[in-house]
Amino acid sequence: MSTAAALDAADPLAHLRARFAGAGSDLVYFDGNSLGRPVAAAADRLSEFVQHQWGERLIRGWDERWMELPTDLGDDLARICLGAAPGQTAIGDSTTVWIYKLMRAAVDHAVRTDPARTEIVIDTDNFPTDRYVAEGIAAERGLTLRWIEVDTSAGVTADQLREAVSERTALVVLCHVAYRSAWLADAPELTRIAHDAGALVLWDLCHSAGSVPIALDEWDADLAVGCTYKYLNGGPGSPAYGYVSARLQGDLTQPIQGWMGHADPFLMGPGYAPAPGIRRFISGTPPILGMVAMQSMLEVVEEAGIGAIRAKSVALTSYAVELADATLPGVTLASPRDPAQRGGHVTLHHERMREVTARLWERDVIPDYRDPGGLRIGLSPLSTSFDEVERGMAAVAEALR
Amino acid sequence: MSTAAALDAADPLAHLRARFAGAGSDLVYFDGNSLGRPVAAAADRLSEFVQHQWGERLIRGWDERWMELPTDLGDDLARICLGAAPGQTAIGDSTTVWIYKLMRAAVDHAVRTDPARTEIVIDTDNFPTDRYVAEGIAAERGLTLRWIEVDTSAGVTADQLREAVSERTALVVLCHVAYRSAWLADAPELTRIAHDAGALVLWDLCHSAGSVPIALDEWDADLAVGCTYKYLNGGPGSPAYGYVSARLQGDLTQPIQGWMGHADPFLMGPGYAPAPGIRRFISGTPPILGMVAMQSMLEVVEEAGIGAIRAKSVALTSYAVELADATLPGVTLASPRDPAQRGGHVTLHHERMREVTARLWERDVIPDYRDPGGLRIGLSPLSTSFDEVERGMAAVAEALR
């Protein structure tokens, strides 16, 4: 038996691969961390939703279930993936819009409480949309961005953050898992450092939720956002989520005050009054149809358990690193070598990786490319086999030759 | 033959009703202007999308089609429903988020150009979310709201707008069709009045697009937003759209500067640079799955033609008004009597309408209720028959007795 076959035979989650559309095909999919495969049941679930829930219940669906779905499903996600108690998570909007709303809520609050807090601390390798939104908010609110310079193969350390925060810090914006390097931040420690300086922290969970255990409440987190189309397999552009700690909800208001965040949406009266709790962070009509597919995935994640998923994720990335070391001369690891410091993907560096990626795509091996010279191998734990890793890495070796 | 049967027999669009899921059932659906029925083909289309486009093409779908879908589908919508040339419409986000982005873009531009323009003109019966967002923006930007008082059974007239605008006006916010009264605004005339005062106009098309002809380019419109779950049958919470006139795009920037509005999203470099054209008004990852169902509806709308749809809409609402006059003593019309001044719904006033609505729902007759005392009868032209109107109005008469 090959190593890969032995690893697959020993994998306690192997049986769940069959739940994913196309997971048995010849294609090697190394990009489930950009767009997860659909759970096969999602196709029927969407069709059933159109015919029965939407088609038969029609507008009554809002009274019966949909009004509460953003927070009910938010609570499910919080329980299964985020380590958060109910009432703190809502689904809707894009990650970018959530970042805007929660960043604004945080900095407006900070400046109102202490006008000297005029800095947003963010790292240079934070995901682009986080950086762009921060830049826009800094410009419109007259704040300053304080950049933590990080290497593209690493992430923000405790020492770096301690150096960056001060009595001028309004907000710290960090990624739990870095999109290029897969650096897994020490979230409890970094949160503590920000709090010791009197600042709030916004965690971007896009590249961790569904593959790495998260404990927002235990971390004493303030704010978090994330998407649902990567390890949560909600489909292209499926709605994102926002988390606001219960202890902060009453103090924060967000700028896009729409009817669905109103204390009484169907009163339709004059004057906006924010809903109590997490609902005040909702703005427009929630994207119900867009929430259907992710429900199928959350069921599979709950069945597997996030602990077992993380164990498989570590095994998958470790196997990929082992194969890279053994079979890819001249290639360097642009991710942490210690699996405890690494999320669900592995980035391999070589100056020719852009062209290697193009060649691999032609051969139905689908990794992602990230500048500079990074071949990003995303290994969505529930839908990826060790055999797939072996076949994919062999194709990388061949493409490099 | 009954009047209703004769009207159905003469209806050139009658054959298209069969395209909608459940349109042949006994249920009387008077709320297609809140949530349109699904086009039956949308169920298979979504299922097919999950299995093939998402499930097989996976991340490659972004390169192959999805990156351009918000603007390609925006152009389709613009051609079929909005009377707008390509390159001015994008799909994504909720209506509320679009309102926030375009309102901010407009007032920030106005104040930058002329600091004396510190007023947003809006009417008291504008849809709640428009009013709430305007209120929030006025507070955060130090602007003033100037309210046009309108009766809940009417809408904004040319004289009222002329009175309200001045050299202090930054932006006028108007609904094309009023959500309560169905008042159909004289959009070209109101746009002209705003422009004569040097102000921009934001049109909310939620209650008109898909049932009333719109000619944004001919009106010389500046900005518009609308949802796709009413007469465009995109499903609960389907993505909204925004229109920005080509002549303004270069001058305006919106506040939520995310990676998908960047000139080069996958450069992922430092510093935000807005894309040219309408793309700069996109923020986060576009909701592709949420755009699938509306494509089926746009095909039916294009096949029918918006002129024929409007003719049927006028006939449906006129028939409802005729039946109300004849069979509902004590009930008054809270919509314009002249069909040329009325959109696709009819509101009937009686102090007991809240309880009447509850009774109707129990009997599978589904209108909407809007304070004060308004029974709102929405008649989505393509999926509603005259027979349905007759049965529903008979049920209203009985519930009132």
CATH number, position A153? 3.40.640.10
**Domain annotation covers residue A348:** yes
At residue A127, the 3 state secondary structure works out as: coil
Question: Which residues of A fall within a CB distance of 8 Å from B287?
Answer: 94, 237-239, 287, 290
Contact A28, A395 (CB under 8 A): yes
Cis preceding-peptide flag for B372 (omega within 30 of 0): yes
CA distance B305 to chain A (A): 24
At residue A177, the 3 state secondary structure works out as: strand
Q: At CB < 8 A and 24+ separation, what contacts does A141-146 make?
A: A141/A104, A141/A107, A141/A108, A141/A111, A142/A118, A143/A107, A143/A111, A143/A118, A143/A119, A143/A170, A144/A118, A144/A119, A144/A120, A145/A119, A145/A120, A146/A119, A146/A120, A146/A121, A146/A122
Q: Which of the following is catalytic: A229, A241, A243, A281? A: A229
Domain holding A318: CATH number? 3.90.1150.10
State the residue range of the domain holding A13: 3-30+305-400
**Domain annotation covers residue A41:** no
At residue A20, the 3 state secondary structure works out as: strand
B295 and B309 inside one domain: no
Per residue in A201-237, pLDDT (tens digit) is 999 999 999 999 999 999 999 999 999 999 999 999 9
| Residue B281 is among the residues annotated as catalytic for this protein | no
Polymer length in residues for chain B: 401
Q: Which of the following is catalytic: A20, A29, A49, A127? A: A127
Tell me if B31 and A97 make a contact (CB, 8 A cut-off).
no
Q: Where are the beta strands (DSSP E) in A264-361?
A: 332-333, 345-349
Q: Which of the following is catalytic: A19, A117, A230, A280? A: A230
Which residues pair with residue A145 across a beta bridge? A120
Q: Which of the following is catalytic: B101, B146, B230, B279? A: B230
Question: Which residues of B fall within a CB distance of 8 Å from A296?
Answer: none
Question: Of the candidates A27, A34, A287, which has its C-beta nearest B237's C-beta?
Answer: A287
Tell me if A58 and B31 make a contact (CB, 8 A cut-off).
yes
Q: At B121, phi and psi to the nearest 5? A: -95, 130
pTM of this structure: 0.98
B338 and B394 inside one domain: yes
Tell me if B62 and A366 make a contact (CB, 8 A cut-off).
no
B255 and B388 inside one domain: no
CB atoms within 10 A of CB A277: 15
A134 and A216 inside one domain: yes
CA distance A234 to chain B (A): 9
**Amino acid in position A189:** E
**Domain annotation covers residue A37:** no
Handedness of CA B54, B60, B62, B68 (dihedral sign): negative
CA distance B292 to chain A (A): 10
Nearest CA in chain B to A294: B289
Per residue in A72-97, pLDDT (tens digit) is 999 999 999 999 999 999 999 999 99
Question: Which residues of B fall within a CB distance of 8 Å from A270?
Answer: 124, 131
Q: In which band, very low, low, confident or very high, does the pLDDT at A1 lie, cut at 50, 70 and 90?
A: confident
Question: Of the candidates B124, B136, B272, which has its C-beta nearest A132's C-beta?
Answer: B272
* Most A-contacting residue of B35, B95, B101 (CB-CB within 10 A), to test interface: B35
Joined tokens for residue B38: 């699904």
Counting beta carbons within 10 angstroms of the beta carbon of residue B305, is it exposed (0 to 12), middle (13 to 18) or buried (19 or more)?
A: middle
Q: In what order do the strands lie in the sheet with B89-91?
A: B89-91, B241-244, B223-226, B200-204, B169-175, B119-123, B144-148
Strands A332-333 and A345-349: antiparallel
Percent of the residues in chain A that have a pLDDT greater than 90, as a whole number = 97
Tell me if A285 and B227 make a contact (CB, 8 A cut-off).
yes
Nearest CA in chain B to A133: B257
* Most B-contacting residue of A107, A152, A257, A366 (CB-CB within 10 A), to test interface: A257
A225 and A252 inside one domain: yes
Q: Which of the following is catalytic: A11, A204, A222, A368? A: A204
Question: Of the candidates A43, A257, A361, which has its C-beta nearest B51's C-beta?
Answer: A43
ipTM: 0.97
- Mean confidence (pLDDT) of chain A: 97
Contact B377, B346 (CB under 8 A): yes
Domain end position, chosen among B300, B321, B349: B300
Tell me if B285 and A96 make a contact (CB, 8 A cut-off).
yes
d(CA B104, CA B173): 12
Question: Which residues of B fall within a CB distance of 8 Å from A234?
Answer: 289
Question: Of the candidates A51, A93, A95, which has its C-beta nearest B21's C-beta?
Answer: A51
A310 and A295 inside one domain: no
Tell me if B38 and A51 make a contact (CB, 8 A cut-off).
yes
Question: Which residues of A fall within a CB distance of 8 Å from B136?
Answer: 255-257, 272
Q: Residue A24: pLDDT above 90?
A: no
d(CA A71, CA A264): 16
Q: Which of the following is catalytic: B20, B49, B100, B127? A: B127
* Successive 10-residue mean pLDDT values, chain B, 401 residues: 96 98 94 97 97 97 97 98 98 98 98 97 96 97 97 93 98 97 98 98 98 98 98 98 98 96 91 96 97 98 98 98 97 97 98 97 96 95 98 98 91
Tell me if A133 and B256 make a contact (CB, 8 A cut-off).
yes
Nearest CA in chain A to B234: A289
**Domain annotation covers residue A123:** yes
Question: Which residues of B fall within a CB distance of 8 Å from A94?
Answer: 92-93, 258, 283-287
Tell me if B283 and A237 make a contact (CB, 8 A cut-off).
no
Question: Which residues of B fall within a CB distance of 8 Å from A131?
Answer: 270, 272
A192 and A265 inside one domain: yes
CB atoms within 10 A of CB A14: 15
- Cα A336 to Cα A97, A175, A204, A278, B140: the distances in Å are 30, 15, 19, 36, 43
d(CA A213, CA A80): 9
Joined tokens for residue B249: 């795009």
At residue B235, the 3 state secondary structure works out as: coil
**Which contiguous run of DSSP H or E holds residue B381?**
none
Percent of the residues in chain A that have a pLDDT greater than 70, as a whole number = 100
Nearest CA in chain A to B103: A256
Q: At B123, phi and psi to the nearest 5? A: -100, 155
**Domain annotation covers residue A111:** yes
| Residue B204 is among the residues annotated as catalytic for this protein | yes
At residue A346, the 3 state secondary structure works out as: strand
| Residue A127 is among the residues annotated as catalytic for this protein | yes
A250 and A367 inside one domain: no
Question: Which residues of A fall within a CB distance of 8 Å from B105?
Answer: none
Number of domains in chain B: 2
Whole-number pLDDT of residue A268: 86
Q: In which band, very low, low, confident or very high, does the pLDDT at A371 lie, cut at 50, 70 and 90?
A: confident
A13 and A55 inside one domain: no
Q: Residue A279: pLDDT above 90?
A: yes
A148 and A183 inside one domain: yes
A355 and A262 inside one domain: no
Tell me if B133 and A257 make a contact (CB, 8 A cut-off).
yes
Domain end position, chosen among B251, B271, B300: B300
Strands B144-148 and A89-91: unpaired
Tell me if A38 and B44 make a contact (CB, 8 A cut-off).
no
Closest CA to B294 of B237, B219, B376: B237
Tell me if A132 and B257 make a contact (CB, 8 A cut-off).
yes
d(CA A143, CA A51): 50
For chain A, counts of helices (H) and of strands (E): 15, 13
B9 and B113 inside one domain: no
CA distance A380 to chain B (A): 13
Contact B152, B125 (CB under 8 A): yes
Nearest CA in chain B to A230: B59
| Residue A180 is among the residues annotated as catalytic for this protein | no
Cis preceding-peptide flag for A372 (omega within 30 of 0): yes
Domain end position, chosen among B266, B300, B334: B300
